Structure 1
Amino acid sequence: MNNMLEKIENQFEMFQILNEEGKVINEDAMPDLSDDDLKELMTRMVYTRILDQRSIALNRQGRLGFYAPTAGQEASMLGSHYAMEKEDFLLPAYRDIPQLIWHGLPLYQAFLFSRGHFHGNQMPEGVNALSPQIIIGAQITQAAGVALGLKRRGEKAVAFTYTGDGGSSQGDFYEGINFAGAYQAPAIFVVQNNQYAISVPVEKQTAARTIAQKAVAAGIPGVQVDGMDVLAVYKVTKDARERAVNGEGPTLIETITFRYGPHTMAGDDPTRYRTKDTENEWERKDPLVRFRKYLESKGLWSEEEENKVIEKAKEDVKAAIKKADETPKQKVTDLISIMYEELPSNLEEQMEEYKVKESK
């Protein structure tokens, strides 16, 4: 039995295109991306890194509420999202705000989501997405259902969802991938393995050598990819999407990545559960540094271009937080009015009570 398990686990080798020095080590796997596509990917990663830095600063100033840092996971997040089409449906977790923004959510609404304002959860017309899921792993079962709905409607679209390595330890994870596999639903389940979930090392969460191999039990394809390599992430996600729209069912993708900051800004201290040596090791794998080296070798990127992106991100954040500040404050009557099409009697009574209170 051990030999059989080892044979299965050995099939899940990490897929990679760029090494840590930004050199191509898998030429045959290079995705079909134009020079403009490559520059756009770098633009999005740099922009998102600055957005993360500014969001952390705003959180510390008390101008944002809940926030989960994203630095280190840009290649995993944006490489996979770049394989999405506008008609695809996004079901993010709470750390996946960058994908949601690039999918069409205005930045000021992302800030309102962080503050707990209901308008931050109202997707604009044409943005196929649900609000970021706070319950760990719940979006996995939801994605299976959305994917089945897309299939039954005959739409050539895919449901994308994300969770972390901690989310893969939840029951919803197994139920979701099993359901999607049973119905050959067009879904892509991305597990961003950033090694520690909230604070527990992945090797203490599961005896499995990889998370990707858990796809075997659901009867679906699974792949492990270098989550610090944006080209590799894009390639495996693009291939998975093509299979899904061709009726070949779901895929489980495990991206091996790392979050440089705390789990969230709500008091987590990563120095309590990981060492400086570990952090230094992963900083040498920084997805921005790696991809920057690759683009510079092709003459596609410069310090001047990067500075333009940085300034653009700073300006956008400044404008977005100003717009969030100008948004009318959330009231209890707002929440009551959007809960039901027809209010039950108990909420009708509460609505009248709060109307009186809020008028004073």
Structure 2
Amino acid sequence: MKQAVLQRPGLVEIRDVPLPREIKANEILLKIHRVGVCGSDVHMYYGKHPFANTYPMVQGHEYGGEVTAVGKDVTLLKPGMKATARPHLVCGHCPACLRGQYNVCQNLKVEGCAGPEGAAQEYFIIPEDRAVVIPDTLSYEQAAMIEPIAVGAHATKRVGDLTGKNVVVTGAGTIGNLVAQFAVARGAKKVMITDLVDHKLEIARECGISATANLKKEAFSDAVKRVFGDEGFQVAFEAVGVQSALTELIGGVENGGTVVIIGVYVQNPVVNMGFLGEHELNVLGSMMYRHEDYLEAVDWVSQGKIKTSPLITHYFSLDEYHDAYKFIESNADQAVKVMIEVTE
């Protein structure tokens, strides 16, 4: 079978490898149909991911596939069904795992990133305990989108009830867009998303996020005033991983408000801790997701609460995996979610 391997930063090669080993009693063999290219994948491609620097690496932690075989103890899935799976591998015995926060396991490994190989290949084995059923009504593209959607589900639950609150999201890429969609669906009063690219803001509007701001054309403070008036905003999600975005959110959020950090920072940002303390701000991290976030993601996509199709902007075949990265490099303003078609 074919497998895409990130040999070193800047080089993806396609190689032929044997089919996966015989599956165990609790395992499922997937024929991979679609793999999404994630921002973390791009960081790894450039050798700039702060927490993932293992090469060579078979990437792919956003995927949808068809069940072709199941182990004798598997009851969740059967051949012919669609599925995806959570990519994180956890120890189960550290303090975080024991209290149910296995997404921040002290020994966390992530398939296709900081851990074993991922799903950028024609066939891939998953265990039943991390598997997620994809309804027949959803496409393989939507199945591959469940992973980033679960990121949005988890991040927006970090702040508790959003009902009636004004929310700002910085960054209208895939994650920022999905976080904003969840904020709307969770009852936020108004949600504004910012970016520097009109095309991404147009996609956000297609997904139901009506308040947008291009910060190349409008100052952040002016955009906040235009959208929220004197009410300001109480919650913010930083989804780009750049200093300027974090500085504006901390400086602009209401006293006592909350800023959630989702973006991956290549360079550690500077935070005015005195300002943070004086205004009693809450700055929270958000790390990936848990299984219930995956299930909620599937449910809300099935109900039409979360839109995916406007986000998928370009397709490449498995043989064109390297070309996909070069395309993203040359067309960063136009590429939002790039999808790899592993199986036609």
Q: TM-score, normalised by structure 2?
A: 0.29
Higher helix share: 1
Higher strand share: 2
User: Which protein is bigger by CA-based radius of gyration?
Assistant: 1
Larger RCO: Structure 1 or Structure 2 (Cα < 8 Å, ≥ 6 residues apart)?
1
Q: TM-score, normalised by structure 1?
A: 0.28
